[in-house]
């Protein structure tokens, strides 16, 4: 600011430099004809030293460029930010980072004007390096001849179906056509989360704020089956699996199709080297890469001795250590990368060969998936309702999403309501544009006011208010899709921009019958990655104690946990259809004894005669289990979990 007049000069100040000047807000009143700050106005400014006060026009040194410069890029993408509580705005900004790229991206009806800039600066889109004419466009490359005397050719390669660090699909699509003129910096291809060069993280969906049979209680969300059917919120996810062939003490591991005891069905989709073919559909437990590891020498069985005597050769002592699809995963193999030391690839010490397999899967939206708006309004899908049962408007249009009205007042994120109203007006073309949707920008701190939204809805209503029954306040009468009866009271309906977040139910759902056990405590491991059990902690034990559920508690703490013999006997009894025997002493009790003994305390369990006889029975059972080849002391897994061999039903320990 020079002599009270705004100039076009922009200066960047550090926090230290800023304290030396008096800086006014971006919305300081100015005279449009002269560009001068209005003299009589009392201007709110940050003064030297950092305090805020009203000052005269001639005291102002600088004016902010824009009101939104005080917030981050992620926050500047939230429309009506000024109407949201800070905690919810923070959640909204953070959840945009967790949005999953959808099959077809769609720009928001209600944006802030920052979407284009944010997308261009991410590197997700393809920008022209030089001005020129587009000569050739194919799905994976664009060729541009530069303007000027040289007329050199620039070739741009597009990323196609690559995997991001989050396991989502990165795919670029050309936007330009052959013969089109482009300038340096022109967006020539959309990324996975952009639409015509604008950031597009979600979908515009028709939402209604109303309770529905209790299914949207406590932030639960009800969606229409149309969204599933039309792949509106479907996304592609790519998993990467890796296997290494290393040098071991007993000899090198080998990647091969020759897997011991493998049926033709298992080997069906493997090539001659034992690597899965591209295009194969795989599910849980299927072999992706065949690999064998040398086994330690053991005493040959009589049969092996006979074979060696007849054929005069030593059978290969190898075990199957193939790469398999983990439990609960699968899809279509889209790429295989093979690296070998012999081929000149740089690998870790001790690694001779490495294979990476990429498996893609289309995931439709499902119950348990997490959705969110841009205002920190997040929830989990509780029910997918048939399209014909969803509440519908007077013109017969069913809503896509039903949200709970109780999610608004206490959270104080009113921006979502304003977005819904303006989204409705924008979807109807703001009363112009022949009713075709328009995309509106409402910048943070200087965007549309409530009066502007009221006027927009009124304008739309003049055009088609009779058709939808939309009132001036943005509310309509909705009808029950099952009975056709109108609901009591008018309901807020409009378009909200909704994101599908990376917290997907398919990645979280987990079940276990038997599985690996900890070596020390003999209790099941924890977590989905270890194929573990559900933790029944101290407080859960108190809850069952309070109810007096003694037998349930006993089985949870013994045969379902660390009673080594009892869990095997229980499994056997269930298989045979017999009564489950009484639980025994858990292994954790023995661990406690050992710990006390290690402290120098002489602790010995004292048994009565009956207990001693019972203990002998248990020893007999232990012997019987060993004779049957049942492994009761399974080690903790150190990599891929191996499936038990056929016939060894108890090979993974107890329950």
pLDDT of res. 204: 97
Residue listed under structure tokens 């920190």: 376
More confident of the two residues 516 and 468: 516
pLDDT of res. 467: 74
Q: What are the C-alpha distances in Å from 259 to residues 31, 247, 274, 318, 407? A: 83, 18, 9, 9, 56
The pLDDT-based confidence of 466 (bands split at 50, 70, 90) is: low
Instruction: Tokens for 177, please give them.
Output: 């056509």
Global confidence as pTM: 0.83
Q: What are the C-alpha distances in Å from 92 to residues 77, 86, 317, 426, 613? A: 9, 10, 58, 22, 65
Question: Does pLDDT of 312 surpass 80?
Answer: no
Segment 424-432 shows an average pLDDT of: 88
pLDDT of res. 641: 43
Question: Does pLDDT of 636 surpass 60?
Answer: no
Question: Does pLDDT of 15 surpass 80?
Answer: yes
The values of phi and psi at residue 199, to 5°, are: -60, 130
pLDDT of res. 635: 53
pLDDT of res. 169: 95
Question: Does pLDDT of 283 surpass 90?
Answer: yes
DSSP type of residue 65? S
Question: Does pLDDT of 28 surpass 70?
Answer: yes
pLDDT of res. 652: 35
How distant is the alpha carbon of residue 645 from its chain centre? 34
pLDDT of res. 644: 43
Question: Does pLDDT of 361 surpass 90?
Answer: yes
Tens digits of residue pLDDT in 177-186: 999 999 999 9
The pLDDT-based confidence of 462 (bands split at 50, 70, 90) is: confident
More confident of the two residues 260 and 209: 209
Residue listed under structure tokens 């289309």: 362
3-state secondary structure at position 460: helix
The pLDDT-based confidence of 173 (bands split at 50, 70, 90) is: very high
Question: Does pLDDT of 603 surpass 70?
Answer: yes
- Contacts of 280 by beta carbon, 8 Å cutoff, 6+ apart: 269, 332, 333
The pLDDT-based confidence of 236 (bands split at 50, 70, 90) is: very high
Taking the C-alpha atoms of residue 54 and residue 47, their distance in angstroms, rounded to an integer, is: 9
Question: Does pLDDT of 653 surpass 80?
Answer: no
pLDDT of res. 611: 65
More confident of the two residues 47 and 390: 390
pLDDT of res. 331: 95
Question: Does pLDDT of 150 surpass 90?
Answer: no
Question: Which has the minimum average pLDDT: 82-86, 222-226, 343-347?
Answer: 343-347
pLDDT of res. 206: 97
Is the separation of the CB atoms in 142 and 190 below 8 Å?
no
CB atoms within 10 A of CB 501: 19
Segment 43-53 shows an average pLDDT of: 82
Question: Does pLDDT of 217 surpass 60?
Answer: yes
pLDDT of res. 298: 67
pLDDT of res. 18: 87
Question: What is the overall mean pLDDT for the chain?
Answer: 89
Instruction: Tokens for 510, please give them.
Output: 């987990």
Tens digits of residue pLDDT in 341-353: 888 889 999 999 9
* Fold classified for 203-234+367-500: 2.40.270
pLDDT of res. 60: 86
Axis-axis angle for helices 538-547, 550-557 (nearest 10): 150
Tens digits of residue pLDDT in 125-136: 999 999 999 999
CATH number of 513-627: 3.90.1800.10
Taking the C-alpha atoms of residue 281 and residue 286, their distance in angstroms, rounded to an integer, is: 10
Q: So where are the chain's domains? A: 15-65, 125-192, 203-234+367-500, 240-363, 513-627
DSSP H or E stretch at residue 224: strand 220-224
pLDDT of res. 82: 95
Taking the C-alpha atoms of residue 640 and residue 325, their distance in angstroms, rounded to an integer, is: 9
CATH number of 240-363: 2.40.50.150
pLDDT of res. 596: 95
pLDDT of res. 549: 97
pLDDT of res. 651: 35
Task: Supply angle C-alpha 194, 199, 204, rounded to 5.
Answer: 90
Question: Does pLDDT of 487 surpass 80?
Answer: yes
Same topology for domains 15-65 and 513-627, yes or no?
A: no
Strand segments, DSSP code E, in 93-160 are 110-111, 126-127, 132-138, 141-146, 153-157
Question: Does pLDDT of 422 surpass 90?
Answer: yes
The pLDDT-based confidence of 640 (bands split at 50, 70, 90) is: very low
Q: Three-state SS string across 395-429, please? A: CCCECCEEECHHHCCCCCECHHHHHHHHHHHHHCH
What number of CA atoms fall less than 13 Å from residue 251's CA on the CB side?
Answer: 11
CATH number of 15-65: 2.30.150.10
The pLDDT-based confidence of 324 (bands split at 50, 70, 90) is: very high
Question: Does pLDDT of 626 surpass 80?
Answer: no
Segment 484-506 shows an average pLDDT of: 95
Is the separation of the CB atoms in 46 and 23 below 8 Å?
yes
Segment 28-37 shows an average pLDDT of: 82
pLDDT of res. 46: 83
* Fold classified for 125-192: OB fold (Dihydrolipoamide Acetyltransferase, E2P) (2.40.50)
Residue listed under structure tokens 């020079």: 2
Highest mean pLDDT, choosing among 71-75, 507-511, 611-615, 636-640: 71-75
């Amino acid at each position: 600011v020079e002599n009270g007049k705004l100039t076009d000069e922009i200066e960047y100040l550090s926090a230290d430099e800023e304290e030396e000047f008096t800086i006014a807000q971006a919305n300081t009143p100015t005279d449009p004809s002269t560009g001068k700050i209005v003299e009589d106005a009392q201007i709110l400014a940050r003064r030297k030293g950092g305090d805020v006060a009203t000052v005269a026009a001639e005291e102002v040194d600088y004016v902010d460029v824009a009101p939104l410069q005080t917030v981050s890029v992620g926050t500047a993408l939230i429309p009506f930010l000024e109407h949201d509580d800070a905690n919810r705005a923070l959640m909204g900004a953070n959840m945009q980072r967790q949005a999953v790229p959808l099959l077809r991206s769609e720009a928001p009806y209600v944006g802030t004007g920052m979407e284009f800039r944010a997308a261009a600066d991410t590197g997700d889109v393809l920008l022209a390096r030089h001005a020129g004419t587009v000569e050739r466009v194919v799905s994976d490359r664009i060729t541009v001849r530069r303007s000027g005397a040289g007329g050199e050719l620039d070739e741009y390669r597009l990323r196609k179906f690559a995997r991001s660090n989050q396991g989502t699909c990165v795919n670029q699509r050309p936007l330009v056509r052959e013969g089109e003129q482009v300038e340096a910096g022109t967006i020539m291809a959309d990324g996975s989360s952009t639409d015509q060069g604008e950031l597009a993280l979600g979908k515009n969906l028709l939402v209604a704020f109303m309770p529905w049979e209790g299914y949207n209680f406590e932030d639960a969300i009800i969606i229409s089956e149309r969204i599933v059917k039309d792949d509106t919120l479907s996304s592609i996810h790519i998993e990467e699996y890796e296997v290494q062939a290393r040098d071991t003490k007993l000899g090198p591991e080998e990647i091969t199709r020759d897997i011991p005891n493998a049926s033709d069905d298992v080997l069906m989709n493997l090539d001659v080297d034992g690597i899965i073919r591209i295009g194969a559909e795989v599910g849980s437990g299927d072999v992706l890469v065949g690999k064998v590891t040398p086994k330690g020498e053991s005493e040959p069985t009589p049969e092996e001795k006979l074979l060696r005597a007849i054929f005069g050769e030593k059978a290969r002592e190898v075990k199957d250590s193939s790469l398999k699809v983990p439990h609960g995963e699968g899809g279509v193999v889209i790429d295989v990368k093979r690296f070998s030391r012999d081929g000149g690839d740089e690998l870790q010490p001790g690694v001779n060969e490495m294979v990476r397999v990429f498996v893609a899967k289309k995931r439709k939206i499902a119950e348990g998936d997490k959705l969110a708006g841009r205002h920190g309004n997040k929830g989990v899908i509780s029910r997918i309702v048939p399209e014909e049962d969803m509440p519908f408007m007077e013109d017969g249009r069913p809503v896509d999403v039903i949200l709970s009205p109780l999610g608004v007042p206490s959270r104080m994120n009113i921006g979502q309501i304003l977005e819904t109203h303006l989204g409705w007006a924008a979807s109807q073309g703001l009363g112009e544009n022949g009713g075709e949707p328009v995309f509106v920008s409402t910048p943070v701190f200087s965007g549309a006011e409530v009066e502007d939204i009221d006027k927009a809805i009124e304008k739309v209503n003049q055009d088609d208010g009779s058709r939808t029954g939309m009132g001036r306040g943005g509310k309509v009468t909705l009808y029950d899709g099952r009975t056709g009866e109108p609901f009591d009271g008018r309901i807020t309906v409009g378009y909200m921009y909704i994101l599908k977040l990376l917290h997907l139910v398919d990645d979280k759902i987990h079940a276990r019958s038997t599985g690996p056990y900890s070596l020390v405590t003999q209790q099941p491991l924890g977590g989905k990655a270890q194929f573990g059990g559900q933790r029944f902690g101290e407080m859960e034990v108190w809850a069952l104690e309070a109810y007096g559920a003694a037998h349930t508690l006993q089985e949870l703490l013994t045969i379902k946990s660390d009673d080594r013999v009892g869990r095997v006997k229980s499994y056997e009894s269930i298989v045979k259809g017999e009564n489950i025997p009484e639980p025994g002493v858990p292994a954790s009790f023995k661990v406690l004894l050992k710990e006390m003994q290690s402290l120098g305390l002489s602790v010995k369990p004292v048994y009565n005669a009956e207990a001693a006889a019972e203990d002998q029975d248990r020893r007999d059972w232990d012997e019987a289990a060993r004779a049957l080849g049942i492994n009761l002391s399974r080690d903790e897994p150190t990599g891929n979990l191996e499936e038990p061999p056929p016939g060894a039903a108890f090979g993974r320990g107890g329950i």
